[in-house]
Structure 1
Amino acid sequence: MKLFITFGTQHFLEKLPEASHEHAILLESGGDAALIAENEETNPFEEGHSYEILNSRGNLKNGSFAVLNHIQVTDEGRVLFEERFHQRAGLVEKEPGFAAIRVLRPDKNDPYIILTLWESQSDFINWQQSSAYAEAHKDRGTGGGLPQTLFSGPSYVKQYRVLS
């Protein structure tokens, strides 16, 4: 299964034929927007990014708040990074308000993306403040975590409202 993302303004993306597809969601954040399509076909966007779904839980249509954590991984670090996500505890799925997760491997030189969807922004904030979050991230920045040499740059997070 693949996931495709294209970026633009909300007005522009709403007019794309893919925006009305049943497996597409439109995201918005302060004037920036993204359109996500999940399917087994080829990239539906002329200017889109394509990802293989490594791990999938939940339904993208069940969320109203999306978080995309972009993680830049070196070519040498890809195997270890992916192995860590295959072994993840899955604690996030048990959190109140959790709707979906997709762990995404880029087809090109884009960063990996960990996409989570939540019923609300407050559900996401509650997850960040939970003991389950602390447990899931306890090794970050320590000898028990992934070596920093696996990362080709800093990670960054984008948050969006789900419009459709």
Structure 2
Amino acid sequence: MNVFMTKGTFDFLKKLPEKHTTIDFYFMRESGSTLVYYENEEKNIFASGKEYETVSQSGTLHESGYVVMNNIPVADDGMATFEDKFKQNQQSVASMPGFQAFRLLRPKKGNTYVVMTQWRSETDFENWKNSDQFKQAHKDGGDVKPPAYFLDRPFVTTYHMVDMDE
């Protein structure tokens, strides 16, 4: 499955569903910016944006909720190790209350993976971050030096799903 994302103004992006009626778009807002996300096997319809291949997934994306995207630059020789680690840990997150969806996305260009989770609410995500399951899944992380296969420090972006009826 391919994943496509682009950012822009809500007023411009909200016209996409009218032009592409067969695509299920997911609109997310971060501060003043809007991100549009969709999954399919077709080509990218965006003039600019990012393309990914889904490596692993669980759950179903919803039009409401809270989205967390961990952006992790990974060296070419560390990709297999990185993917295996996240495939093993996805079951623990899927069992958490409020969990909706998980996607491990491999970039088609570049080296920054996206580990995306969607939650019913920001509180559900915070509960996951404070859980024993989170500590177990991230026991090699924390403030220590990133693994050798990380090219740079990971960064997190968070979004609230946009109610298109507002």
Q: Are the aligned partners of 2:55 and 2:106 in contact in 1 as well (CA < 8 Å)?
A: yes
Please report the TM-score for the alignment, with normalisation by the length of structure 2.
0.88
Could you report, residue by residue, the CA deviation over 1:78-125 in whole angstroms, capped at 9, with x for unpaired residues? Answer: 121112223325101010000000000000005100010000111001
Q: Does 1:15 align with 2:15?
A: yes
What residue identity is the alignment partner of 2:10? Answer: Q
Q: How does 1:117-132 map to 2 (within 5 A)?
A: 117-132=118-133
Could you report, residue by residue, the CA deviation over 1:110-162 in whole angstroms, capped at 9, with x for unpaired residues? Answer: 5100010000111001110111111111122599xx96221111100011010
Q: Are the aligned partners of 1:62 and 1:119 in contact in 2 as well (CA < 8 Å)?
A: no
Q: Are the aligned partners of 2:76 and 2:111 in contact in 1 as well (CA < 8 Å)?
A: no
Unpaired segments ≥5 residues, structure 2:
none
Q: How does 1:82-121 map to 2 (within 5 A)?
A: 82-88=83-89, 90-121=91-122
What residue identity is the alignment partner of 1:5? Answer: M
2: CA distance, partners of 1:38 / 1:136 = 27
Please report the TM-score for the alignment, with normalisation by the length of structure 1.
0.89
Q: Which residue does 1:57 correspond to in 2? A: 58
Q: Does 1:5 align with 2:9?
A: no
Cα RMSD over matched residues? 2.2
Moved over 4 A (4+): 18-22
What residue identity is the alignment partner of 1:23? Answer: D
- Give the number of aligned pairs: 162
2: CA distance, partners of 1:137 / 1:153 = 17
